[in-house]
Amino acid sequence: MRANRASSGSRIDPLAALIGVCSLALLAPLFGPALAGRVFVYNDLSWFHLPIRHLYQQALQSGDSVLWTPSIFAGLYLHGEGQGGLFHPFHQILYRLLPLGAAFNLELIANYPAAFAGMCWLLRRLRFGWAAALFGALLFAFSGFNLLHHHHVNLVAVVAHMPWLLAAADVLIAEDRRRTRTLAFAAIALVLGSEVLLGFPQAVWWNMVTLVPFALFRAGQLRQWRRLMPCAAAVAIGVLLGGIQLLPTADFAAQSTRVSLSGEFALTYSMHPYNLFQVWSPYFFARGAYSERDFMWFHDFGVYSGAILPVALIWTWIRRDALPGRRTLSTAVTAFAAVMLILALGRYGGIAWLLTHVPLLQSLRAPVRYVLLVQFALAILAAITMEDLLAIADGRSAPPSGSIALLWVPATLGVITTLTLNTGLLPYGRHTFAAASAAAAGVAIVAAVTLLVYLGARGRRWAIAALVVLTAIDLGAWGIRFIYREPARSIQELTEQVPPPPDDPAESYASAPERGPYRPNILVLRGYRLTSGYAGLFPATQHPIESDVARRLAGTRWTFAQDGRRQPAEGWAERVRLVGEDGRESGGSARLAVDRPGQLVANVDAPGRRILAFTERFHSGWSATVDGVPLPMVRVEGDFLGCVVNGGAQRVVIQFMPRSFVYGSIASAIGAVLLAGVLIFRRA
């Protein structure tokens, strides 16, 4: 394959420049909110990610611990929850140096050029010319999955690491120079460590699912089986580097509701086969996609990613005899895409249930998200198609000699389904299928893309350029339009109608409903501490978080109604208090001198042995001391923090430092030492 680089691959021709311009055109709308002093707010962006990063930035600026926050669920192991990526160097720089809105925008935007550059490098490593590599990069970076999941910021960030990981593995397997392979070894470890630090284990799993077959494919292709051992060693070091996040995430998950769920949970959000209609008719469904059992989140079930993908799949198989240098790659990529599609079907595919019996994987839901890997694989086939069309146009390859009518299969299916189902000719899906006019627009795009590929196969170079432009429009109409479905807003606008909380942290505890203008964590941006809240994983509790008992024990002073009005709560527990072993308040006094995230200091005067009880949620990572002497920690009412104090006046210091973080930090340090040792040894 290394001898098959196209002669035009050493220079960037006008078509490559056009692809670059189209890529910038897709990236530019993501800068819109930043230029206007606003942020994207759809779904998890304002519900979760922005409030979490607000708390993170506050902790960084004030010197508080970023491990714990009292502002969600009356206490949350924030670092263990993971999705803030709190110890990732990029996040540390962003949120230390930039205002919240600017840092948040840059974090979201950076995912797409990172994915683009990584995919371009990977395809160049596979000896694609510049135009084909850039085309594949455009399709991956701005794929339907990546754009529709823009609000899952750290998910897309981990996905953006995928081509970098594969390209680094390719260097380690394929190159002969010792120094180059050493740098590739370090790159694998650092890239994997980086994605683990971002705190979305499911996406890390997808990357590994892709890395393993790719490494086996390249090792077999180049007869370099021994190079797989250093690849595995680099992966092991990468996992160690991410230990500072990995172990806290495992700790947090073990104390969450996720551990008690059945294997059926892992099959929720499976892709119903009806969604395959999107392949040839992207606007077939009235709501964009279809779900039978689960809530129809379009960002999950919208599996379309450009009409070029199914057309490219057909093209590469029509042309397999004319592409001997790409035949093995095409076969491997197609097989990979097929397996990933079956996994994406989840309960409808027949094999995803096997993963529900694998420890850890059984707690990861939404098999439909394997469609990301389908889109990644088909983007490679699209790059092969572009490479072949350019070779035909330049006279370096003969045009198809036989019929290429199979290219029209997707468009034909689109016409048939539009005429029979979207028009209501057949009595099915009257409230599920879109109107014929809406569906026809999508089918027209599929037909236009097919026509341009057909004309490109006849040597019309202008058709190839038009194909690039139409593909960018296709992706933008699908993904960028979705991103803008909810207008961007300033951070101030999100909470400008909220009355400010009292200055005393103990007086700022509030509960908000799941439905309403301030759900679920938005009140955090105004300075409230929530006894309710929202996170990727919910803590396992004895008392349901939304129950009256939990709200009282959490010290809820305010409740927000669904219309946004604030009302005072009644019957709340004091922020800190002395209670007897029976849980009833007893004599003596307790007053907080310090009430910071991860640190509580109480001045106590107890008449005897008592429990010092807090409205802070319990976690085994809390420890208490008096003059350096440890005190026993206890659970108050099963869910809240307490410690046993003896009689007399004393100053009790309580700090949050979980063992999972300590051990994770040690693992990361070991990984760093091992990586440094490898680099030094290999250079010696």
Whether residue 249 is contained in a domain is answered as: no
Query: Integer distance in angstroms from the first to the last C-alpha of the chain?
Result: 32
Classified as helix, coil or strand, 327 is: helix
- In a domain, residue 586? The reply is yes
461 and 602 in a single domain? The answer is no
pLDDT at 96 over 60: yes
Q: Are 346 and 270 in contact (CB under 8 A)?
A: yes
Of 425, 448, 473, which residue sits at a domain end?
A: 473
Domain range for residue 629? 576-661
Mean pLDDT of 498-502: 93
- The answer to the question of residue 412 being in a domain is yes
Mean pLDDT score, 589-611 = 95
468 and 594 within one domain: no
Within 204-304, strands assigned E span: none
Residues 59-71 pLDDT 10s: 999 999 999 999 9
Same domain, 456 and 592: no
Same domain, 301 and 446: yes
At 684, is the pLDDT very low, low, confident or very high (cuts 50, 70, 90)?
Answer: low
Examine the fold and report which residue of 407, 440, 473 is the final residue of a domain before the chain moves on.
473
Is residue 398 a part of any domain in this protein? Answer: yes
Q: Average per-residue pLDDT in the chain?
A: 94
234 alpha carbon, distance to own chain's centre: 23
Residue 674 maps to a domain: no
* Same domain, yes or no: 448 and 584: no
Evaluate whether residue 216 is within a structural domain. no
Residues 435 and 303 in one domain: yes
pLDDT(9) > 70 = no
Same structural domain for residues 462 and 319?
yes
Quick one: pLDDT at residue 12? 55
Same domain flag for 436 and 584: no
Shared domain check, 580 and 462: no
Report the number of distinct structural domains present in the chain.
2
Looking at the chain, the whole-number percentage of residues with pLDDT higher than 90 is 87
What are the tokens at 484?
């803008």
pLDDT at 158 over 70: yes
pLDDT score, position 1: 39
CATH number at residue 593: 2.60.40
| pLDDT score of 524 more than 80 | yes
Of the three residues 473, 499, 519, the one that is the final residue of a domain is 473
**Nearest 5°: phi and psi at 510?**
-140, 160
pLDDT at 234 over 50: yes
What is the pLDDT, as a whole number, of residue 362?
A: 77
Same domain, 450 and 580: no
pLDDT of residue 359: 77
Examine the domain organization and report whether 454 and 584 are in the same domain: no
DSSP string for 425-487? SSSS-TTTBPPHHHHHHHHHHHHHHHHHHHHHHTT-HHHHHHHHHHHHHHHIIIIIHHHTTS-
Q: Could you report the per-residue pLDDT of 526-581, keeping only the tens digit for each?
A: 999 999 999 988 999 999 999 999 999 999 999 999 888 999 999 999 999 999 88
Assigned domain for 266 exists:
yes
